[in-house]
Structure 1
């Protein structure tokens, strides 16, 4: 997801030079009650996953909590950069999604431990290592970077966080491992829902305004019938071509798509028009977001999203 000032309702937080941050001392990172361990996550999505593993032993600090902040273009304040630089463990998405983390880690040349979710995707086929600062070679569009919708990757992140915290805090290793195992069981509940969707609706066409929920559609064996030219343009903050707009609108008016997966955090005139077209055609809307909705943890959020998709497909 990339925002365009011309069309987007969201705005990136004002940029402040990362380099200036390294003259500051560490400020405000939450720490382990016993060991002074500090854990920082790029967004509240990965912060919530890490917090589930950390439990009551420590508190995880998330740099991005606001829906108005775009991780693609986000630039840290000096205080935020200092938190990242001084953290014992940094948990982030990778794949070019939250590049600000990689920029700070590379500039700081620290030796903190990291967990890069994108590097853990599909068994780590993209990986360098999950310890030490990693370097992302992501080419935009080659692989979908929104891996928080891929449940096996989230599970791998939880267990990697447990491994890293256990290395930092051996006395509490059993707690971290137990928390990760319990989290796996909760994630399995989401997989149960996606498996049931696949069993009932495999091959069914759906449309998206952006390829945010790509891995949810993969898990449910649904077919994203949206023209790639449309979703790529929207994700990059550009105008889709008139032909791509017309083709996407036709999918909805002709009911070739059974649902419209709609990113409510980054709306513009084109996506709002598609939503209106879908509603007029009686096509259900499945709302998705990129950060945690207020009052929900990751498990609740993804459970509700999967259930919303199941209900949308069953309503017709």
Structure 2
């Protein structure tokens, strides 16, 4: 979907917020005035926020369907109302879930925000292989205004489509950014709910510990398969690929076309298909949520050559949290490379 169409839809959704409130929505009423509401754009960031919020707050995720594509998600009036009425909004940013930015920029409501992409660009997050000093890690977030519009606007990257001057917006595959989001959520919730501050900090520290286990598994891939060649149908898991010390062999023309939301040239498609048919890579990372004729052709070529296919997605599978999801993805990638050793 074009950005202008998505923006118009978000504006229309915002226009309905007042109407919903006037009709007596569940978010109004004196009994709920002091209730903290945390809303996340996708269940990926919802899971991270829930890990920090624990039993004190139930986080609402707007995009939960495994088949959904957040790039082209159409915000409903209920989504707009949820964001406007929220105490805290956690979202990806970088143009990925633009509907959230459109609703926030409309001025309807004034929630605190945590933007993952802004944290990524500012270099927040810990080195997950540098030990377990949670206090030092947390202190790096105390003075950062996570995810404000000013922060997002200072990046210098275009939010039109998928072209971010070479910066990949799929930052949930960057474990340090997930860690930064967890600590930023803890900071914001502590400001909104001082009585729960110790709980939020402890939960963020526990999340940090769990991330270490995932990072260790990814590091073991780099150790076992240094510089192993792989291919991606799109650059969704590039941060995982980089952390695992792997080499993406997909031709630049193909990768750039997919990232910019355009059709690859016949030559780029042929070169990528041949890469797979000739078994020049050890695994294909495949996003089933945005599959099309071209990506299905690439998967078919990989399967015909006996190349393992590792599915990487943009939302959580049912019944799985962020840590479990990242662990399973790392395990699947390791298993695929072990098969091809």
Q: What TM-score, normalized to structure 2?
A: 0.83
Q: Which residue of 2 aligns with 1:8?
A: none
- Which of 131, 145, 150 in structure 2 is aligned with 1:129? 145
| Structural mapping, 1:140-151, within 5 Å | 140-142=163-165, 143-151=167-175
Q: Tell me if structure 1 keeps the 8 A contact 2:84–2:110.
A: no
2:201 paired with 1:177: yes
Q: Tell me if structure 1 keeps the 8 A contact 2:52–2:200.
A: yes
Q: Which residue of 2 aligns with 1:65?
A: 64
Q: Tell me if structure 2 keeps the 8 A contact 1:29–1:38.
A: no
1:179–1:34 Cα change, 3 Å: farther
Deviation of 1:254 after TM superposition, in Å, equals 1.8
CA–CA distance in 2 between the matches of 1:93 and 1:118?
6
Q: Which residue of 1 aligns with 2:185?
A: 161
CA–CA distance in 2 between the matches of 1:109 and 1:228?
41
Q: Tell me if structure 1 keeps the 8 A contact 2:41–2:92.
A: yes
- Which of 281, 290, 294 in structure 2 is aligned with 1:257? 281
Deviation of 1:99 after TM superposition, in Å, equals 0.7
Deviation of 1:200 after TM superposition, in Å, equals 1.5
| Structural mapping, 1:15-30, within 5 Å | 15=9, 17-24=12-19, 25=21, 27-28=25-26
Deviation of 1:21 after TM superposition, in Å, equals 2.8
2:297 paired with 1:273: yes
Deviation of 1:15 after TM superposition, in Å, equals 4.0
User: Is the deviation greater in 74-83 or in 218-227?
Assistant: 74-83
CA–CA distance in 1 between the matches of 2:237 and 2:37?
31
1:263-283 Cα distance to aligned partner (Å, 9 max, x none): 011211111111111111111
1:130–1:297 Cα change, 3 Å: same
Q: Which residue of 2 aligns with 1:115?
A: 114
SS of 1:62 mapped into structure 2: strand
Q: Tell me if structure 2 keeps the 8 A contact 1:28–1:83.
A: no
SS of 1:18 mapped into structure 2: helix
Deviation of 1:82 after TM superposition, in Å, equals 1.2
Deviation of 1:203 after TM superposition, in Å, equals 1.2
1:225–1:262 Cα change, 3 Å: same
1:33-88 Cα distance to aligned partner (Å, 9 max, x none): 99411111001100011001000001011111123432222232122101101111
Deviation of 1:237 after TM superposition, in Å, equals 4.3
Q: Tell me if structure 1 keeps the 8 A contact 2:116–2:147.
A: no
- Which of 269, 294, 299 in structure 1 is aligned with 2:318? 294
RMSD over equivalenced CA pairs, Å = 2.5
Structure 1 unaligned segments of length 5 or more: list them: 4-11
User: Is the deviation greater in 131-140 or in 201-210?
Assistant: 131-140
How many residue pairs end up in the alignment? 304
Q: What TM-score, normalized to structure 1?
A: 0.89
SS of 1:247 mapped into structure 2: helix
Larger helix fraction of residues = 2
SS of 2:68 mapped into structure 1: coil
SS of 1:179 mapped into structure 2: helix
Q: Which residue of 1 aligns with 2:134?
A: none
SS of 2:72 mapped into structure 1: coil
Q: Tell me if structure 1 keeps the 8 A contact 2:14–2:81.
A: no
User: Is the deviation greater in 131-140 or in 110-119?
Assistant: 131-140
Structure 2 unaligned segments of length 5 or more: list them: 125-143
CA–CA distance in 1 between the matches of 2:98 and 2:26?
22
CA–CA distance in 1 between the matches of 2:95 and 2:237?
17
1:267–1:190 Cα change, 3 Å: same
- Which of 147, 157, 176 in structure 2 is aligned with 1:138? 157
Deviation of 1:123 after TM superposition, in Å, equals 4.3
